[in-house]
């Protein structure tokens, strides 16, 4: 019996609907769910918070089965990661890759909407492990092959890179990959991304570019505020913000290797809500402005894209969900979160991009930048049992770092582990602060504005 014409029409419409739905762009914002904290909420609680914030995507840095399970039936798209230490085995062993995909993807899919597998994290920034660089693309190929084996061809395979994969990023049109990876790693990677219609995943932080050149770049240019100077590239394109410059530098670099069309995903971006006293611009005021505005920009309809590639939607993940207290390095590292570990927000933020700046409650004014002297001493909450080894480390670095706390020397008294550690931390930090040394010591150290010196014991200041 022939199907009556109206029914055919509705059937075709339904099929078309399914096709459009499958290929339609999903205009949502993602969050990076990092877990380097010892005070973070349970997985279940974290997923509830992600849902309450209305994030449409989440990226995790592993394949934590508890998280993948908790994300099932939420509709949230999930990006999972092959850990750096597994890349060697994945790259050389197809059975290993198959097993990885089976255990970490197939097992959870489709209840958990895994849509991206990232192979490693910022691999090309790790110079101490450069043999892994050459395993990266082979590992991506093997993960892809494993996905095909399980008929999961629509899951994209990529790898997030940092901006240091570029040799030059300014002017944007001069963007070019580093010599040490361009031909050997980037070219085959771009070939793979292009052939599989995947994305170039970039971690991009206008905050870092601005804070390292803040005399030259205005804060408003970095955080999408009102400013009085656009930048015109020699190629004629006009830039109204730093992020667009950075993204177009990446596109220029791809283009120089013959790949002009690979789409971008911002795998990480954000702005620190706090930092060390001497870290400029890291505060709630600036973080709220940057994140609110980038969300609105990225969800603009029609999409804004960049000057070089207008009107293209760029999926974006905000780093990060929580402030993570176990991240090492400068103070900013532990303050990228949208949420405190107790789940409350650092500032209001609407991940659907509907609220305008003026519709949010007023923010606390940014604290004035601290320009005075600083010393690095033991933190009031430091774990005292961890101090002796920290002292040993600090004293082993630099020149004459701990001479003054030897017996008979001016800072030997008071002979306590806390006093000696304070002296050692400060002596270390004053020597290394300008070359990347941090006042951290696993959380045992903190910067202070008051000179800890006594009449006889002078704390060095450089």
**Residues labelled catalytic:** 122, 268
Cβ partners under 8 Å of residue 170, min gap 6: 245, 249
Helix (H) or strand (E) holding 232: strand 231-232
Pick the closer one to ligand NAG by CB: 340 or 412: 340
Of 40, 37, 202, 28, residue with least CA distance to 113: 28
Pick the closer one to ligand NAG by CB: 294 or 444: 444
CB of 15 to ligand NAG, least distance (A): 41
Pick the closer one to ligand NAG by CB: 82 or 262: 82
CB of 310 to ligand NAG, least distance (A): 11
Residues that bind ligand NAG (CB under 6 A): 86, 89, 93, 95-96, 99, 130, 167, 170, 178-180, 216, 228-230, 238, 240, 340, 342, 344, 383, 385-386, 398-399, 431
CB of 348 to ligand NAG, least distance (A): 14
Supply the angle between the helices 187-195 and 133-149 in degrees, to the nearest 10: 20
Q: For residue 374, is the peptide bond before it cis, meaning its omega torsion is within 30 degrees of 0?
A: no
CB of 377 to ligand NAG, least distance (A): 18
CB of 435 to ligand NAG, least distance (A): 8
CB of 170 to ligand NAG, least distance (A): 5
Q: For residue 171, is the peptide bond before it cis, meaning its omega torsion is within 30 degrees of 0?
A: yes
CB of 40 to ligand NAG, least distance (A): 12
The rounded distance, in Å, linking the Cα atoms of 25 and 23 is 6
Pick the closer one to ligand NAG by CB: 28 or 438: 438
For 334-342, the CB contacts below 8 A with 24+ separation are 335/272, 335/273, 335/274, 335/275, 335/282, 336/270, 336/271, 336/272, 336/273, 337/273, 338/31, 338/53, 338/291, 339/49, 341/37, 341/39, 341/40, 341/41, 342/41
Pick the closer one to ligand NAG by CB: 178 or 263: 178
Pick the closer one to ligand NAG by CB: 103 or 406: 103
Cβ partners under 8 Å of residue 371, min gap 6: none
User: Where in 65-171 does DSSP place strands (E)?
Assistant: 77-82, 113-119, 156-158, 160-162, 166-168
Helix (H) or strand (E) holding 239: strand 238-239
The per-residue DSSP string of 348-399 comes to ---TTS-S-GGGSPPPPPPPPPP-S--EEEE-TT--GGGHHHHHHHHHTSSS
Pick the closer one to ligand NAG by CB: 56 or 171: 171
């Amino acid at each position: 019996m022939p199907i009556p014409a109206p029914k055919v029409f509705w059937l075709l419409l339904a099929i078309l609907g399914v096709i459009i739905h499958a290929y339609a762009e999903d205009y949502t914002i993602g969050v990076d769910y990092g877990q380097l904290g010892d005070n973070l909420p349970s997985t279940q609680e974290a997923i509830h918070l992600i849902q309450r914030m209305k994030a449409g995507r989440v990226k995790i840095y592993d394949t934590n089965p508890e998280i993948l399970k908790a994300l099932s039936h939420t509709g949230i798209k999930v990006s999972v990661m092959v850990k750096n230490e597994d890349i060697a085995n994945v790259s050389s062993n197809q059975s290993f890759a198959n097993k990885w995909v089976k255990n970490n993807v197939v097992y959870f899919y489709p209840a958990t909407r895994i849509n991206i597998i990232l192979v490693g994290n910022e691999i090309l920034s790790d110079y101490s492990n450069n043999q892994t660089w050459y395993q990266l693309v082979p590992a991506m190929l093997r993960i892809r092959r494993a996905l095909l084996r399980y008929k999961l061809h629509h899951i994209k395979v990529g790898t997030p890179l940092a901006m240091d994969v570029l040799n030059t990023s300014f002017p944007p049109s001069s963007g070019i990959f580093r010599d040490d990876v361009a031909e050997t790693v980037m070219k085959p990677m771009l070939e793979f991304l292009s052939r599989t219609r995947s994305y170039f995943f970039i971690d991009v932080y206008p905050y870092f570019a601005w804070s390292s050149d803040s005399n030259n770049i205005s804060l408003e240019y970095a955080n999408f505020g009102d400013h009085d100077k656009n930048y015109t590239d020699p190629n004629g394109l006009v830039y109204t913000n730093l992020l667009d410059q950075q993204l177009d530098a990446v596109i220029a670099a791809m283009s120089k290797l013959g790949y002009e069309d690979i789409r971008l995903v911002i795998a990480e971006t954000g702005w620190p809500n706090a930092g060390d006293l001497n870290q400029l611009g890291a505060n709630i005021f600036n973080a709220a402005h940057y994140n609110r505005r980038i969300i609105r920009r990225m969800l603009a309809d029609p999409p804004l894209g960049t000057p070089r590639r207008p009107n293209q939607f760029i999926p974006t993940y905000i780093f990060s969900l929580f402030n993570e207290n176990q991240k090492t390095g400068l103070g900013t590292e532990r303050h990228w979160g949208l949420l405190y570990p107790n789940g409350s927000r650092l500032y209001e933020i609407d991940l659907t991009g509907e609220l305008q700046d003026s519709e949010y409650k007023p923010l606390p004014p940014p604290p004035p930048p601290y320009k005075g002297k600083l010393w690095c001493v033991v933190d009031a909450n430091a774990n005292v049992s961890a101090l002796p080894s920290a002292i040993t480390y600090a004293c082993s670095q630099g020149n004459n770092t701990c001479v003054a706390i030897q017996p008979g020397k001016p800072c030997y008294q008071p002979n306590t582990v806390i006093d000696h550690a304070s002296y050692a931390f400060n002596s270390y930090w004053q020597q290394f602060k300008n070359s990347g040394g941090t006042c951290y010591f696993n959380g045992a150290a903190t910067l202070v504005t008051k000179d800890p010196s006594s009449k006889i014991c002078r704390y060095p200041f450089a």
